[in-house]
Structure 1
């Protein structure tokens, strides 16, 4: 971040920063300058999300006209969450007072966080931010919902905007300018449309079990020294523990018990483990295909195979090469 003085009069009236008295000392708030609001990709992101919400809520005859003005009270989020998950929340349908609206929003956001299996520190939104019509926080929330419940929704890639953070200090208001990333940098061109496992599951499903058996044998050879054994590839890697221990054995990592959950007791703890494992593999340059950690937690066979094959490919093939006889073939 770079500090700079900023002409407060440049900010749009509807979201302009408050006078100094409206911020308590030490409090920070984010604001979007006009150039960010007018950015074509930023506007396109709002349009795509609004169309997605309106399509989902069409059966209930609910229409969203502004993400900034229509999301804050929890009503739209309540209906959207129920439509996406089928889960009925015990909240009042029409909250008419500010306190009741905030209570409803809090219940809905708690349910969303559980459904996303996200830890609080990972969230880029809060009840207070959504309730105060913070457009950035609202967009982060909606992007997370869309990616989780409809991953095939084509969101504009690499949407980032300049943000002004205002802070009240003893000497007055200070501002910092930063860049906030709203959607992933990757594009369709950056990611392979399909890989060997897409072809395997589609064209030769009868060979899937043979591949799984080969990988399980390889894994058990490595985990045997820890006194561990894998019987079911589809389920035993979902909590990330075996995956982390396997990576540690193969890549020579020592993971302190404080870094992961040895006996994860919740989906959030499982997600933490798997995310850590994938980050380690990325750091080693072993993942050639984008993997969503939630897919591993949700016991998606194809995603689990992709991750394990990245290790199998490096270490099993290396062993085969090392043990191969030297010299030219006859």
Structure 2
């Protein structure tokens, strides 16, 4: 009897191993998870999703945790491509989520024009398993197709460990995965963008010339805010919570922003991001498009991003 039990388990193990043969997986090398370019791409995609789905009051914080069930992807496809599928809004069970994802990805792949399966770097299993690499590949493809004017960080590459289960064991190799294009055309377009961007050009000048322009903009800001009793001393830091930026926009454009619409005394980064997002949305409504600036840039005290926003306001209002 013991022998038969042993044989049973032996047979079961053999079947189990065979079922994994041919399975392939790519794992992001841990050292690249905090790579600045990779972080920038992730944040840009999160900001893009939140801006696109703002009218529907959907807020994404994590690409891994918030897209796996299909809800966000379905709403994105609806907003960007005008496609509404007959799927349940909230798929609670794993089976329902996979069924929903299958319908969404099938339709998305058609819309993205990816007939060759070798070009597709995502699938239902990967997205549902919260695979960050596959999720980013899918979102980048959606941006390129539906909103090509959006500036994604160029030349983002990461190192991945590719694993494959074979009859003889597990094969592994280290590969470089390209998330956004690394080509001469990208470099040329980036150079042209910088050529047309006065702030990028300014920051290449000598320090004293940069300071002269910063002083001129600072004078313009303080002159505008003087009636509110607000003064900016440190341009690099005082705009990071969005409060002074919102007050400045209101003064320049001649409208009052209700205090209930923003956080007058933000206490955390989420509240700062909410303020700055509102400010950039207002600029967009004023036809001052800041596609190369994300809310996170301002909150992180990126002086280049802050100068771009202030210069756009300065240029529009200096002659009034």
Please give the TM-score of this superposition, normalised by the length of structure 1: 0.50
Per-residue Cα deviation, 1:30-85 (whole angstroms, up to 9, x for no partner): 11121121111111100000000000011111111110111111110001110112
2:63 to 61, 67, 70: 67
Structure-1 residue corresponding to 2:289: none
Structure-1 residue corresponding to 2:181: 184
Most deviating of 138-147 and 170-179: 170-179
| Alignment RMSD | 2.2
Structure-2 residue corresponding to 1:29: 25
Matched, 1:135 2:135: no
Structure-1 residue corresponding to 2:157: 160
Structure 2 distance, partners of 1:102, 1:85, is 22
Matched, 1:90 2:86: yes
Partners of 2:74 and 2:104 within 8 A in 1: yes
- 1:173 Cα deviation after fit: 2.9
The 3 A distance-change label for structure 1 pair 23 and 176 is farther
Structure 2 distance, partners of 1:35, 1:104, is 34
Partners of 1:23 and 1:168 within 8 A in 2: no
Structure 1 distance, partners of 2:170, 2:49, is 37
Structure-1 residue corresponding to 2:142: 145
Superposed counterparts of 1:1-330, under 5 Å: 24-121=20-117, 122-186=119-183, 189-191=187-189, 193=192
Structure 1 distance, partners of 2:105, 2:21, is 28
The 3 A distance-change label for structure 1 pair 188 and 124 is closer
The 3 A distance-change label for structure 1 pair 21 and 40 is farther
Structure 2 distance, partners of 1:153, 1:177, is 31
Structure 1 distance, partners of 2:140, 2:176, is 17
Structure 2 distance, partners of 1:21, 1:161, is 31
Segments ≥4 residues shifted beyond 6 Å: 20-23
Structure 1 distance, partners of 2:178, 2:186, is 18
Structure 2 distance, partners of 1:120, 1:93, is 30
Partners of 2:122 and 2:137 within 8 A in 1: yes
Structure 2 distance, partners of 1:33, 1:181, is 14
Structure 1 distance, partners of 2:29, 2:17, is 21
Structure 2 distance, partners of 1:169, 1:114, is 32
Structure 1 distance, partners of 2:111, 2:168, is 43
Partners of 1:130 and 1:138 within 8 A in 2: yes
Structure 2 distance, partners of 1:31, 1:183, is 18
SS at match of 1:144: helix
Partners of 2:154 and 2:186 within 8 A in 1: no
Structure 2 distance, partners of 1:168, 1:114, is 30
SS at match of 1:190: helix
Structure 1 distance, partners of 2:82, 2:182, is 31
Partners of 2:24 and 2:164 within 8 A in 1: yes
Structure 2 distance, partners of 1:95, 1:172, is 37
SS at match of 1:164: strand
- Tell me the matched-pair count: 175
Gaps of at least 5 residues in structure 1 are 1-19, 195-330
